């Protein structure tokens, strides 16, 4: 079931019929009438509007109303559904949601917040670019924010999934435009962002061609048919043949 979204705002609530109220507007069936020097028409006069605008505090009010309309709240799917979709136990899901909700009371993580959170783990370098890629990897329906379901589904794959699923997830991360192929440019972007996270003070220091060199090695290893792109099958096959990679896949299982 799709999660429903409640638009909560203090101002214009849709009434029971779903019709939006018309603030200050004219009722239906209005014909053009001669402008009379009534209070209403005076108020519409530009000069008067300008005077009133400059004397009253209108700025914050208008932005407030904008804010209220856009502040949506998201409730996740039920616990049972999530249990079915992921490999987490009920208690684990409860614990995860409590932490998530505490950090993001609105139930959604937008990209800026995500970047700032992720950057805190890598203080020496600049983690924003990689966080951007990571965000896109989690945000499966590409709506610009991570909901709890995305979060938990991603974590389920990473922590409880099979090796193939994890490799698929990694491929999805590297494939920036999600077209099924990893090009050299995409890999270069990913690699640069990873090296960016290291920052300036490293031993040996990160040279300008370090990411490029790393990309070359990657392609040499992964790109079987030397066509300049890495497909998902090439990727999975190569990784399964590499014992180091296979062994390291078990590393993070105990994180939660």
Here the contacts of 81-88 (C-beta below 8 Å, separation 24 or greater) are 81/1, 82/149, 82/152, 85/149, 85/153, 85/156, 86/152, 86/153, 86/155, 86/156, 86/160, 87/156, 87/159, 87/160, 87/161, 88/152, 88/155, 88/156, 88/160, 88/256
H-helix segments, 104-143: 111-119, 128-138
Closest CB 245 distance from other proteins, rounded Å: 6
Give the nearer residue to other proteins in terms of CB position, either 69 or 194. Answer: 194
Closest CB 81 distance from other proteins, rounded Å: 21
Closest CB 63 distance from other proteins, rounded Å: 21
- Our measurement of the distance from residue 155's CA atom to the centroid of its chain's CA atoms, rounded to an integer in Å, reads 14
Rg (CA), the chain: 26
Give the nearer residue to other proteins in terms of CB position, either 108 or 155. Answer: 155
Closest CB 166 distance from other proteins, rounded Å: 5
Give the nearer residue to other proteins in terms of CB position, either 25 or 105. Answer: 105
Give the nearer residue to other proteins in terms of CB position, either 178 or 217. Answer: 217
Closest CB 195 distance from other proteins, rounded Å: 11
Which residues in 126-136 are b (16+ Cβ under 10 Å) and which e?
A: ebbbbbbbbbb
Interacting residues with other proteins (CB under 8 A): 91, 95, 98-100, 102-103, 117-118, 120-121, 134, 137, 151, 154-155, 158-159, 166-167, 169-170, 173-174, 190-191, 194, 214, 217-218, 235, 239, 244-245, 247-249, 251-252, 254-256
Give the nearer residue to other proteins in terms of CB position, either 15 or 243. Answer: 243
């Amino acid at each position: 079931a799709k999660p429903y979204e409640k638009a909560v705002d203090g101002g214009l609530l849709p009434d029971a019929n779903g019709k939006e109220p018309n603030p200050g507007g004219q009722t239906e069936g209005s014909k053009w009438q001669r402008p009379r020097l009534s209070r209403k028409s005076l108020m519409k006069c530009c000069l008067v509007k300008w005077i009133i605008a400059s004397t009253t505090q209108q700025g914050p009010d208008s932005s407030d109303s904008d804010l209220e309309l856009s502040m949506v709240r998201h409730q996740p799917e039920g616990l049972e559904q999530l249990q079915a979709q992921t490999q987490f136990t009920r208690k684990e899901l409860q614990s995860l949601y409590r932490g998530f909700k505490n950090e993001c009371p609105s139930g959604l993580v937008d990209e800026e917040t995500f970047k700032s959170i992720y950057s805190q783990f890598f203080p020496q370098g600049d983690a924003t670019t990689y966080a951007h890629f990571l965000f896109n990897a989690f945000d499966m329906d590409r709506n610009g924010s991570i909901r709890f379901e995305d979060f938990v589904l991603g974590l389920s794959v990473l922590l409880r999934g099979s090796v193939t699923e994890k490799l698929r997830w990694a491929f999805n991360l590297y494939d920036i435009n999600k077209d099924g192929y990893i090009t050299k440019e995409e890999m270069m972007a990913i690699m640069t962002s990873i090296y960016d996270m290291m920052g300036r003070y490293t031993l040996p220091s990160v040279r300008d061609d370090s990411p490029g060199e790393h990309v070359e090695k990657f392609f040499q290893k992964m790109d079987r048919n030397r066509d300049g792109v890495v497909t998902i099958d090439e990727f999975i096959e190569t990784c399964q043949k590499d014992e180091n990679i296979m062994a390291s896949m078990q590393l993070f299982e105990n994180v939660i």
